[in-house]
Structure 1
Amino acid sequence: MATIDELLHDTLKKFKIDKFKPEQRIIFDAIWSGKDCVGVLPTGFGKSLPYQVLSLVERKWNGSRTVPSPKIIVCCPLISLMMDQVGRLREIPDVSAFYLGESEESDLLIKEEKFDYLFGSPEHLVGDDSWRNVIKTFNFLLFEILFVSFRGEDDTGKVFRKWFSHLGELRSFFPSASILALSATCKKSHYKKLNSYKKVMKTLNMKGDTVIVKVSPNRSNIKIIVHKVISIENDFLKVVDALQENMMPRTLIYCSSIKDVSLIYNYLTSEAINTLTFIGMYHSETPSKNKEEILDRLKEHNSNFVIIATNALGMGIDIVNCNNVIIYGAPYTVTDFWQQVGRIGRDGSNSTAILAYNSYHLRSADEDVKMIFKTKSCRRMSAISEFLTKKERKILRNKTGNHLCCDFCEKSCTCGKCSSTSLEKLFMSNNNDTEDENLTDNSSTISYEYSDPEYDFSDWEMEELSIY
């Protein structure tokens, strides 16, 4: 009989992966052995892989037994994430995956237990009596829960999504199943002072021997650059030129509001008429058909695109071969920053994150975000310090200081081999070198009306919030 290592090796090939990262293997070993696990891993790390391979490995391990193979249930807060995850699983031979409410046909197949992976929102899984009664009849091996919030509360302690606090009922339905709780980021102040891990474990009725895995969200291959903007027309003129010349690299542009997404999209599409690059707009109000088209584009290795989006294009979305992001308007929290930055550079190559802002943008940002713009030293250290212990900060500090770290470190770099990425050369060529002392000046002139942020709680097409 094949060993677990051999089965894993063969199964990972189906996902076009050579081997687990050490932290992924720790998670897999925990849930394979029947233990519960809490994982805090950065965007793009591959948090989903351990549970995605589990069902296939379990099936091979048990051979041709006659009893039904155990199922895996995945609790997702976002429809876009369910669509992406289900779509990828369906590309694997002999794997059946559905999400609740996908269609009448799929709901019927779910009720007939003709699936390996079942995705659903907490509102469906424990908030809908009819579905909860159906789920009770299934044989589950694992519950995977991807948290919108690590604590399930906002900063005032109020539970912002009621049914997250009821997910512990799943343990009472299937006490022998493992529970895997995953989140992308967790500030040290939250997990240290507020004991978030313990709150998660208590909420989900997790076992006392729960395994906890934590990885810093820092992405060392992504250069962080701050650029003060004047107007969309002025600062995206070079982007228009690059689009018309078909020289624009694959780029994500994140905005804080639907209005800003629309303004940039309309400007680019109206000015860059003759372009081979796909220009897309993605936010909570984007029609489902358009969302699917954009998600398909993001999976294509050879597709040229510029996607302008809010945080609705977020959690768990797999964006391949993209090494450039422009964050237009200051993120509200450092967690939002790392979530957006984490969408690029997943292949490990040198990448660029440009924070394009004006003073008005900083009004809604928290103090940790403002420090990324105000700092007179390494921006990476400013952005990551709240996620690291004192020892971890010391280790990282010894690795910063080169031209690929941030715009400040580039000024003091002495390597003699300094170079710029394609987006940096393009976007920064019209940099007005505005000094940071004007950060608190609210009189900056802009040629559009800045709009309110997109906090659309009605359909929860939102990225993870910074309230872990």
Structure 2
Amino acid sequence: MAPQIRWRSPQGRRTVAKIVQKEIPQWPNGLYPEQEDVVTRVLDGEDVFCCLTTGGGKSAMFAVPIIVLREMARNPDSYPNLPIRALPIGLVINSDQGISRKHTEIQECKTWNIICVDPEHLRDKAWRQITDFDTFRTNITFGCVDEAHLIDEWGAAFSALLFDTSVNSSAVVFPPLPPFSPSLPQVSPASRPTQICKSLGMSGDDFYLLQCSNERPNTQFIMEPLDHGLGGKEFPSLLRYLNSGRKAVVHVRRIDEVFRVFMYLFNSLPEGMDRLRRIKMYHSLRSFEANEEILRLLDEDPRCQVVIATIAIANGINIRSLLDSITLGFPESVNQAWQEKGRVGRDPNTIARGVILFQRSAQSDARKQLAVLQPLESPPAVPHINPQTGKSKRKKTVKPMEHNKALMLVEEHCYIALWSTIYQNPPLELSTRDCIIAKRRFPCSLCQARAKMKLTFPPSPLPPGLVLPPFHPPTTNQSPPLSADQKKLKLKKKERAEAETTLTVFGDNVRLTERKRSINQRRPRSSFFPSTILKLVLDNLLSIKSLDDLTNHVESWAFVSEHVASLHSAIVKLQRRFEAAREEARLAKNAKQRATRRRWSKKAKHEWDSDEESGEEEEEEEEVEPEPEADAEADDESSADEVNHHPPSSPVPPPAKRAKTALAEVTNRSRPMKKKPEKQETAAAVAATFRPAYKTSRRRAAGQ
């Protein structure tokens, strides 16, 4: 006889509330009204499409039906006139691959009551065997698609696989928010769930649509421009939020960004092991167990504050201690952005922040796209043919930005009102107003700045006595230039290596000597001559002039009183050895420079002599000019006297030899010819220029 009572009836609702109170004592208030409505419809076999915010209790909607049916199967007499399943099974399709390979246990319906499988495994032959097994097909209660906004990524064949799997069962679809696919940006959010329902076979009035607002009343939404790029190694915009002491997740797009952000934050903290406990990385290259351990530490360890993660942490993560979600760069879509902000504020009693640090270039591109109303599907580019070459040049097509993302980047009034307009959050007459008029508890960053409000965000709770050091921008390691005297006191690379080897042997000798004492038998080996003391001695080795000077440098050493004298002796030996080696190297360098100078001097002298010889040979080959005839002997005598009193000037030196250009002798160029020297005047002609213009001596002789 068929049962006469439906689960949606008052008796059915009371039965669900009674079982929930019995099986889940952690929920003293039971289910939310919308959760109870969906659970009863699923138990009645109806198709449901549910749109809730992240953390709105979607998991309970497909877990509670199995809990109710299991309790009824154990005590069938306590719940008469209600449908019962002996081995209730629920199929949840999401990105989890935890038990998707346990084929035998799944098809027998004895080990698990809720099966989570990823879409890829629905194509496997083993899963075809599971769905064809009579026991599994008879007891399956519902098929659920969790995170339905990913259906577009799963492909068109997914719907047929789902239909074949969920025969004779209700279908439940749980997107985290009203889907608004990046591939269909001009479709209104109100019609987008209808399109997904049609792709899943839900049409008309054959299914129940539950759409709730995805606003998060305990979360402030903030958007700020970045003061730096995302391709570098410095991210100072994060420090202001992380120094508030709140547990935070930093969302980035690529794994290399995860590492760069991690290293920047690592160097921003003081040295110590706490740095590795305070900052963690979460990405797909880590094992599933390692990522799960990071989430556990983030939730339980008060010293674990920051997790840098890729998109892998954006779906299906429930960490109630997370308070801040910080995204570097605006995500590819508004769906992804709101999904990331849904990781925080899971506890309604906490105050959360959702921060997006976007690039100014992205905001500029959004303005350009909205200014020209560029369609999302650009027409094919027409090839341009160059008339000279005859070759076509196709312009590079730029991938357009999602329309709603562009709207968010250029918004200047209220971010939350724009979110509600995009997702059609009910009631529209209130949700589409700005935060001040809507009297939201935590206004967005635009409304806060406009109203000049000041909000306080308390840090995450810490145990008594625990204080987390703040983040400081890492200082650069560029030291000021050293003077000449400071350079002399600095060890060279080879000298430092030699000194380190000698001092390491000295430390081993200290350990061999001191470990014989009972008080030092359990002392670690590295503590006898610590690396900090070794580095300090190496840095000041050449500047240590006395035993007292050395004692002042190593006063923190545990064995300074017993071994400082022997350490000073070892340092003096090293100083003498290095000084002798440097002096020998200086003398060798000077000798080498002198030899080089002598070699170049001989070469230059040889070239000069060869140039003079060639000039003299050319002078001998020149024709000798005839001397002018003398008119009188007196004139000849006076000229001869004046020549003797005025010796001829020294010959003009030949021009300098042209320097050879590089590779002049090995190229095919013809060598330039040497310019022929100009004809020089004779000694008599030069002497004549010193003769006076009048003949005083002859007149004086004639007068006498």
Give the TM-score normalised by structure 1.
0.73
Which of 122, 128, 141 is the aligned partner of 2:124? 128
Partner AA of 1:110 in structure 2 = I
Offset of residue 282 of structure 1? 1.7
More helix by share: 2
Deviating runs (4+, > 6 A) in structure 1? none
Partner AA of 1:55 in structure 2 = I
2:176 corresponds to which residue?
184
Partner AA of 2:59 in structure 1 = S
Offset of residue 338 of structure 1? 0.8
**Residue 184 and residue 420 in structure 1: after superposition, are their counterparts in 2 closer, same or farther (change >3 A)?**
same
Offset of residue 183 of structure 1? 0.6
SS in 2 for 1:256: coil
State whether structure 2 residue 271 is matched by structure 1 residue 260: no
**Residue 234 and residue 36 in structure 1: after superposition, are their counterparts in 2 closer, same or farther (change >3 A)?**
closer
1:73 corresponds to which residue?
91
Alpha-carbon distance in structure 1 between the residues aligned to 2:449 and 2:255: 35
| Number of positions where the alignment pairs a residue of Structure 1 with one of Structure 2 | 390
Determine if contact 1:281/1:309 at 8 Å carries over to the other structure.
yes
Alpha-carbon distance in structure 1 between the residues aligned to 2:258 and 2:73: 50
**Residue 240 and residue 147 in structure 1: after superposition, are their counterparts in 2 closer, same or farther (change >3 A)?**
closer
SS in 1 for 2:314: coil
Which of 45, 51, 67 is the aligned partner of 1:56? 67
Determine if contact 2:318/2:346 at 8 Å carries over to the other structure.
no
State whether structure 2 residue 390 is matched by structure 1 residue 352: no
SS in 1 for 2:345: coil
Larger radius of gyration: 2
Alpha-carbon distance in structure 2 between the residues aligned to 1:419 and 1:194: 37
Offset of residue 135 of structure 1? 3.0
5+ residue gaps, structure 2, are 1-10, 77-83, 181-185, 366-399, 460-468, 474-704
5+ residue gaps, structure 1, are 84-98, 431-468
**Residue 222 and residue 212 in structure 1: after superposition, are their counterparts in 2 closer, same or farther (change >3 A)?**
same
1:32 corresponds to which residue?
43
SS in 2 for 1:296: helix
1:234-284 CA-to-partner distances (Å, cap 9, x unmatched) read 525736984xxxx62100111122222221012222432433653221223
SS in 1 for 2:307: strand
1:87 corresponds to which residue?
none
Determine if contact 1:239/1:248 at 8 Å carries over to the other structure.
no
Partner AA of 1:135 in structure 2 = T
Alpha-carbon distance in structure 2 between the residues aligned to 1:67 and 1:29: 15
1:439-459 CA-to-partner distances (Å, cap 9, x unmatched) read xxxxxxxxxxxxxxxxxxxxx
Offset of residue 166 of structure 1? 2.6
Alpha-carbon distance in structure 1 between the residues aligned to 2:241 and 2:200: 50
Partner AA of 1:412 in structure 2 = R
Determine if contact 2:322/2:344 at 8 Å carries over to the other structure.
yes
Which of 421, 424, 433 is the aligned partner of 1:385? 421
SS in 1 for 2:339: helix
**Residue 183 and residue 226 in structure 1: after superposition, are their counterparts in 2 closer, same or farther (change >3 A)?**
same
Alpha-carbon distance in structure 1 between the residues aligned to 2:343 and 2:246: 15
Determine if contact 1:403/1:411 at 8 Å carries over to the other structure.
no
Determine if contact 2:420/2:432 at 8 Å carries over to the other structure.
no
**Residue 266 and residue 240 in structure 1: after superposition, are their counterparts in 2 closer, same or farther (change >3 A)?**
farther
Partner AA of 1:409 in structure 2 = C
Partner AA of 2:16 in structure 1 = I
1:228 corresponds to which residue?
225
Alpha-carbon distance in structure 2 between the residues aligned to 1:358 and 1:380: 20
Partner AA of 1:404 in structure 2 = F
Alpha-carbon distance in structure 2 between the residues aligned to 1:34 and 1:240: 48
**Residue 213 and residue 265 in structure 1: after superposition, are their counterparts in 2 closer, same or farther (change >3 A)?**
same
Which of 143, 167, 171 is the aligned partner of 2:162? 167
1:48-77 CA-to-partner distances (Å, cap 9, x unmatched) read 10111211111222334698422111111x
2:517 corresponds to which residue?
none
Alpha-carbon distance in structure 2 between the residues aligned to 1:330 and 1:341: 12
Alpha-carbon distance in structure 2 between the residues aligned to 1:394 and 1:383: 14
2:30 corresponds to which residue?
19
Alpha-carbon distance in structure 2 between the residues aligned to 1:67 and 1:237: 53
**Residue 241 and residue 383 in structure 1: after superposition, are their counterparts in 2 closer, same or farther (change >3 A)?**
closer
Which of 439, 443, 450 is the aligned partner of 1:405? 443
Identity of aligned residues (%): 19
Alpha-carbon distance in structure 2 between the residues aligned to 1:298 and 1:237: 18
Determine if contact 1:35/1:207 at 8 Å carries over to the other structure.
no
Written as runs of structure 1 = structure 2, the 5 A alignment for 1:372-451 is 372-388=408-424, 392-398=427-433, 400-401=435-436, 404-413=442-451, 418-422=454-458
Partner AA of 2:17 in structure 1 = D
Partner AA of 1:167 in structure 2 = L
Alpha-carbon distance in structure 2 between the residues aligned to 1:27 and 1:241: 39
More strand by share: 1
1:10 corresponds to which residue?
22
**Residue 293 and residue 408 in structure 1: after superposition, are their counterparts in 2 closer, same or farther (change >3 A)?**
same
SS in 2 for 1:130: helix
Offset of residue 38 of structure 1? 0.8
Alpha-carbon distance in structure 2 between the residues aligned to 1:34 and 1:165: 20
Q: CA RMSD in A?
A: 3.5
Alpha-carbon distance in structure 2 between the residues aligned to 1:142 and 1:314: 26
**Residue 30 and residue 148 in structure 1: after superposition, are their counterparts in 2 closer, same or farther (change >3 A)?**
closer
Alpha-carbon distance in structure 2 between the residues aligned to 1:319 and 1:300: 10
**Residue 261 and residue 140 in structure 1: after superposition, are their counterparts in 2 closer, same or farther (change >3 A)?**
same
Determine if contact 1:249/1:324 at 8 Å carries over to the other structure.
yes
Offset of residue 299 of structure 1? 4.4
